[in-house]
Amino acid sequence: MRLKGADMVMECLLEQGVDTVFGYPGGTILEIYDSLYKYRDKIQSILTSHEQGASHAADGYAKSTGKVGVCMATSGPGATNLVTGIATAQMDSVPVVAITANVALPLLGKDSFQEIDIAGITMPITKHNFIVKKIEDLAPSIRKAFKIAREGRPGPVLVDITKDVTVGYGEYEREEINLNPNKPLSLDDAEKYRESLEKAVKLIEKSERPFIFAGGGIKASDASDELRIFAELIDAPVADSLMGKGGFDGNNKRYTGMLGMHGTKASNLGVSRCDLLVAIGTRFSDRVIGNASTFASKANIIHIDIDEAEINKNVYADLGITGDAKYILGKLNLMLKKQSHSDWMEEIECLKNKYPMKYNKDVLTGPYVIEKIEECFGHDTIICTEVGQHQMWAAQYFHYKNPKQFITSGGLGTMGYGLGASIGAKYGNPKSRVINIAGDGCFRMNMNELATASRYNIPIIQVVLNNKVLGMVRQWQTFFYNGRYSDTVLDDQVDFCKVAEGLGCKAVRVTKKDEVEKALLEAASYNGPFVIECMIQEDDKVFPMVAPGKSLDDTFDQDDI
């Protein structure tokens, strides 16, 4: 079948099961947007307020569905506006395909209007990228892009298409695509794991104080059930990373909370005391391990990860197993006998009871709002966040049960991420309630996406915890810079409620604890985007905390100060 290049793009998207794209049109991508119009009954196109919002929406869609998210932009500044979102997806291993159009082939390399080498710019922050200069390369490149984005350790792929390819004609034949490329391993593949799995079993069986650390790979590999069974079999407590939230039920008796800089004392002290740490699907970020030389210093470490480059990168592992977490845990569960570590589990329970999460109950605070959200809406709610204090409170005080329930920017820490991501999550999960939690500093970054929410009447709830400062930066300035609050005070004349109303949303301001529940229930019953601004104190802190470069043993909280 002979098709125009732009129509070929649409057919390739349909092959991949794409139902929604997020983007912003412009000169070089006009042919593709014209085709989107023709295919509008099969693929919905969401016009965001800014290309960065489109990239974050694709990210949120992917994280909340497990499918590949798609964003589009024109050449030059349109393409460069995607860069932050692409880097965000790369750091968090999110399958996103970004499609950009560039100037026509004869104009490449001549500093033409809105020409940019977007493939060169994004090379360090993508799994792979393509420059399509010939119509016969178009369909194969798009198919490869989706395959690369979703297989192995997921990540973003960019496809840049010259304008002459979008207007040209070529032969197209539809292909049936396998949308689940991580196939079960063959017997030969399984054999290569035998020695490593047997070593793991021996380390586990001789351990008296095992501890499990679950990262985002648990969610990416859909290994939550295998993790739960594994924890029962080896009779161990479980901590998670920020990106691992929801991979293990936050209400499970074995759960000790998050590990790291703002992890619980039970998790941090537990890892410091254990004799075996089984780490699954984690890159051992500096925010998790603190001082690498003292991290889990009493323990043998088993590190399971699909990316071989992560083994021994930040933390030395006594046993590294490169493979899919679901497969590896499934095999271990078949090989292991039930272990019992009652004394160790009792010690962990004592730590949980001795060092509970706590905050000032006398005034309106971020943790109170988070707990109220959980109380009002339960666990069918998808929680998105921006980055900062509110993000840590959302990680600490909401008990996540489902692996696709918590959507945040972990590795890159992108302020302005959450609102776009919440729009993507809502399109991916139209029957789920979606709430984005922001601080006032982050909300300023991309609050223009409220216009997107109102344009399509997307019923998301935007909660802004407003302390009129850059809260997390101010916290560091308090502890490490002798209270020199350089450029972190945001006490100006901006009225977020009026801004929200001006962008077509409904908004209320909350100043007291007893107003929170009423506002949340009103927002839930409103058929459209709703903003709740909660006024909290400027010097509220996130506790516990580990100072940069310190050991997890040095975790401190308000009582220690």
pLDDT in tens, 354-397: 999 999 999 999 999 999 999 999 888 999 999 999 999 999 99
Q: Could you give the number of structural domains in the chain?
A: 3
- 195 as an active site residue: the answer is no
The verdict on 38 and 88 lying in the same domain is: yes
pLDDT for the residue numbered 199: 97
Assess whether pLDDT exceeds 70 at residue 3.
Answer: yes
What CATH number has the domain bearing residue 99? 3.40.50.970
- For residue 250, the enclosing domain spans 187-354
Could you write out the three-class secondary structure of 294-361?
Answer: CCCCCCEEEEEECCHHHCCCCCCCCEEEECCHHHHHHHHHHHCCCCCCHHHHHHHHHHHHHCCCCCCC
Assess whether pLDDT exceeds 90 at residue 212.
Answer: yes
pLDDT for the residue numbered 187: 47
- Alpha helices, H only, 16-129: 30-38, 51-65, 77-80, 83-91, 118-122
pLDDT for the residue numbered 191: 76
The verdict on 230 and 160 lying in the same domain is: no
Residues counted in the chain: 561
- 113 as an active site residue: the answer is yes
Domain-embedded: residue 179: no
E-assigned strand segments in 374-415: 382-385, 406-407
Assess whether pLDDT exceeds 50 at residue 549.
Answer: yes
Domain-embedded: residue 550: no
Assess whether pLDDT exceeds 60 at residue 347.
Answer: yes
**Annotated catalytic residue within 11, 51, 115, 386:** 51
What percent of the chain clears pLDDT 90, i.e. is strictly above it?
95
Provide the pLDDT confidence category of residue 561 given band limits of 50, 70 and 90. confident
Assess whether pLDDT exceeds 80 at residue 184.
Answer: no
Place of tokens 């100043």: 511
State how beta strands 2-4 and 169-171 pair: antiparallel
Provide the pLDDT confidence category of residue 177 given band limits of 50, 70 and 90. confident
The verdict on 475 and 524 lying in the same domain is: yes
**Annotated catalytic residue within 4, 67, 127, 163:** 163
pLDDT in tens, 215-265: 999 999 999 999 999 999 999 999 999 999 999 999 999 999 999 999 999
**Annotated catalytic residue within 114, 133, 374, 401:** 114
Using alpha carbons, select from 234, 316, 228, 237 the residue that is nearest to residue 270. Answer: 237
The verdict on 267 and 342 lying in the same domain is: yes
Using alpha carbons, select from 261, 255, 225 the residue that is nearest to residue 237. Answer: 255
Domain-embedded: residue 228: yes
Residue where a domain stops, chosen among 139, 171, 203: 171
**Is the dihedral angle over the CA atoms 392, 397, 400, 406 positive or is it negative?**
negative
The verdict on 331 and 224 lying in the same domain is: yes
Using alpha carbons, select from 294, 321, 299 the residue that is nearest to residue 310. Answer: 321
The verdict on 320 and 421 lying in the same domain is: no
**Annotated catalytic residue within 472, 541, 543, 545:** 472
pLDDT for the residue numbered 189: 63
The verdict on 440 and 335 lying in the same domain is: no
Domain-embedded: residue 176: no
What percent of the chain clears pLDDT 70, i.e. is strictly above it?
98
- 530 as an active site residue: the answer is no
Assess whether pLDDT exceeds 70 at residue 190.
Answer: no
Domain-embedded: residue 560: no
| Mean pLDDT, all residues of the chain | 96
The verdict on 153 and 260 lying in the same domain is: no
Query: What mean pLDDT do residues 499-519 have?
Result: 98
In sequence order, the β-bridge partners of residue 131 are 160
**Annotated catalytic residue within 38, 113, 206, 298:** 113
What CATH number has the domain bearing residue 221? 3.40.50.1220
Domain-embedded: residue 182: no
Domain-embedded: residue 26: yes
The verdict on 338 and 372 lying in the same domain is: no
pLDDT for the residue numbered 192: 78
Assess whether pLDDT exceeds 60 at residue 185.
Answer: no
Assess whether pLDDT exceeds 70 at residue 28.
Answer: yes
Q: Report the range of poorest mean pLDDT among 178-192, 346-360, 414-428.
A: 178-192
The verdict on 131 and 218 lying in the same domain is: no
DSSP string, 489-554: B--SS--HHHHHHHTT-EEEEE-SGGGHHHHHHHHHHSSS-EEEEEE--TT----SB--TT--GGG
The verdict on 341 and 388 lying in the same domain is: no
The verdict on 150 and 258 lying in the same domain is: no
Domain-embedded: residue 503: yes
